[in-house]
Amino acid sequence: MSDDGEIRIVEIDEDSPERLDSFLAERLSISRSRVAQLLEAGEITVNEKRPKKRDHPSKGDRIEVRFPAPAPSPLTPEAIDLNVVFEDEDLLVIDKRPGMVVHPAPGHRSGTMVNALLHAVDDLSGIGGVLRPGIVHRLDKDTSGLLIVAKHDEAHRRLADALRERKIRRRYLTLVWGRIAEDELRIDRPIGRDPAHRKKMAVVDDGRSAVTHIRRLERLRAADLLTAELETGRTHQIRVHLRSIGHPVVGDAAYADGWERGFSGPERPWARELAMRTPRQFLHSEMLRFDHPRTGVTQHFESPLPEDLADVLEWAHTGSSRLS
């Protein structure tokens, strides 16, 4: 795209049952909200006249769509180190370190992954008319590991569609309190805002559908090492689902605070030591698998357990013998 933007011409060869906004979103691989923005700004004409989004394209119509050059992001680029696992003209895969907020929000206007990407990536084409990266899915501040970032609208829309259609595999490694009875478990419980604690999420009857697949890798003295694979992607989903079955994530200050005090006998000192040694929630996005939005070629990425959590697991395997 040039500094003056881009013009796309769509010629209609048959009547369409779809509304104009839906038709153009599909044909141009952009969001309906982006189409609405362009319509509102007068950047879309049908036969040289301004249409309405509820109009239907008809045979013989000539649609002209003008994409202005993306506006500068209101966010400040910052020279922050990023672990870029993969990058091409369409997307990046980032291995996020713990402690980094993904997107600016109240209380975190700088030092985020988006601020870092604005500095590090020099070929962003913009998302929604703004020169910014497209975050396809997020990780909590204290969750580490792999996530996908789109560079332009088309890649962002296709990846978001794939995520919604459950075509992107996301697997996490986690350590949870207690012993799960089953080796494999499918948790299907709706998640919504916790009515008693508005900053938390919870399993609630009127929540959004949420499904997590659990597989135990190893039993430890008072904890299990698991993989958790997301079928859906609700806020705090893995953490809330594991708490809901009585096995919250070790080190999770929001959903497992003080959980180690519930153990008794020889497990109690082990659990207290484990809690003390775990610096954050033991949750790491270890695997991503998805089809490339342009080529369709399957992409597969894995991330090793970062040093802080690897040290915790090593103690759980070896150092804990001193507490026997």
Residues serving a catalytic function are: 140
Q: How far is CA 85 from CA 12, 116, 143, 146, in A?
A: 41, 15, 17, 9
Cα–Cα distance, 234 to 41 (Å, whole number)? 33
Q: How many residues does the chain have?
A: 324
**How far is it, in rounded angstroms, from Cα 257 to Cα 260?**
8
The Cα angle at residue 52 between residues 48 and 58, in degrees rounded to 5:
65
Residue with tokens 């919504």: 192
φ and ψ at residue 137, rounded to 5 degrees: -150, 155
30/154 Cα distance (integer angstroms) = 6
Residues 6 or more apart in contact with residue 20 via CB below 8 angstroms: 35, 39, 44, 46, 51, 52, 53, 54, 55, 56, 57
For 105, list phi and psi in degrees, rounded to 5: -155, 170
> What is the rounded distance in angstroms from the CA atom of residue 191 to the CA atom of residue 210?
6
Question: What kind and span of H or E run contains 27?
Answer: helix 20-28
Q: What is the number of other CB atoms lying within 10 angstroms of the CB of residue 256?
A: 22
Please say whether the beta carbons of 252 and 239 come within 8 A: yes
Closest to 301 (Cα-Cα) out of 82, 79, 83: 83
DSSP 275-298: HHH--S--EEEEEEEEE-TTT--E
Q: What tokens were used for 185?
A: 């478990």
